[in-house]
Amino acid sequence: MSLPLATTTVDAADGTTLALRSVGSGPDVLVVHGAMQSGQSQRDLAVLLADRFRVHLLDRRGRGASGPLPVPPTPALAVADLRAVLDATGAGRVVGISSGALVAARAALEDERITRLVLFEPPLPVDGSMRLDLADELVTAVARGDLARAAAIGMKVAEMGPPWMFGLPLPVLALASRAMLRSPERRRMVEALPEDFVVVAANADRAHDFAAIRASTLLVDGTATRPYLRLAVATLAATIPGARHVELPGQWHSVTQNSDEYGHPELVAPALATFLA
């Protein structure tokens, strides 16, 4: 997939630079990525939608080419950044991926410009479905520069990878994470994990809040994804008025990512294109 993406920047309310990569023509669509991702993680998906939409891939603070995160990060700041990008692009359609879906859902509660909202596997804790007891330890690990341990905690909480892997003790997972951290881009993503944890914790057992969303909403998940994500999607599909729910048979949490990152964006794009049109 070789369509060129145009790179631009947007100033957040506090002056921090937010980077965007855009492709295509048509109605504007903003994609908000999840943890351990940057805007580039949905590049292939954007290209697949580019014949019908102008797709904008946001680098959230602390990732990609965007400016740094404050310490400590706040979920309100992530929502404010999204709204600054809406100001710049005029997008009324927003696609949120994983933790980015929680940011997008919160933005939709505040901003009536969002008329179509796609939420892909938001990690919304429901009745203790996620391990938030490790959140403080992850923040501490990042603060002291122990990114291998922080990555290990992230894997254990998010249950990413095969079950035997996230079931390993933290020191073993940390050792396995060291190879990944040779990449400066990956190191920056791990350094940004405290924001993802803050966003998840702020929304724990708050599914009822999203009953106030008025945007047309599509919930998407894979049938092979982790049970806590399936529970979150089912809960929100039953909570948000008029929400639709699409299941991707046999797919899991990486499906929206690029083909070279174990994703299958070609399976996601048709459902998004139909809904966003």
Q: What is the pLDDT of residues 49-77, one digit of tens each?
A: 999 999 999 999 999 999 999 988 999 99
- Given a cut of 90, whether residue 14 has pLDDT beyond it is yes
Share of the chain above pLDDT 70, in %: 99
- Given a cut of 90, whether residue 35 has pLDDT beyond it is yes
Instruction: Report residue 105 as tokens.
Output: 């859902």
Instruction: Report residue 273 as tokens.
Output: 């294109």
- The string of pLDDT tens digits covering residues 110-149 is 999 999 999 999 999 999 999 899 989 999 999 999 999 9
Residues near 238 by beta carbon (within 8 Å), at least 6 away in sequence: none
pTM of the model: 0.96
Element (H, E) at 10: strand 6-11
- The string of pLDDT tens digits covering residues 127-136 is 999 989 998 9
Taking the C-alpha atoms of residue 199 and residue 193, their distance in angstroms, rounded to an integer, is: 10
- The string of pLDDT tens digits covering residues 226-269 is 999 999 999 999 999 999 999 999 999 999 999 999 999 999 99
Domain boundaries, the chain: 6-127+205-276, 134-200
Instruction: Report residue 94 as tokens.
Output: 């927003």
CATH number of 6-127+205-276: 3.40.50.1820
Element (H, E) at 220: strand 216-222
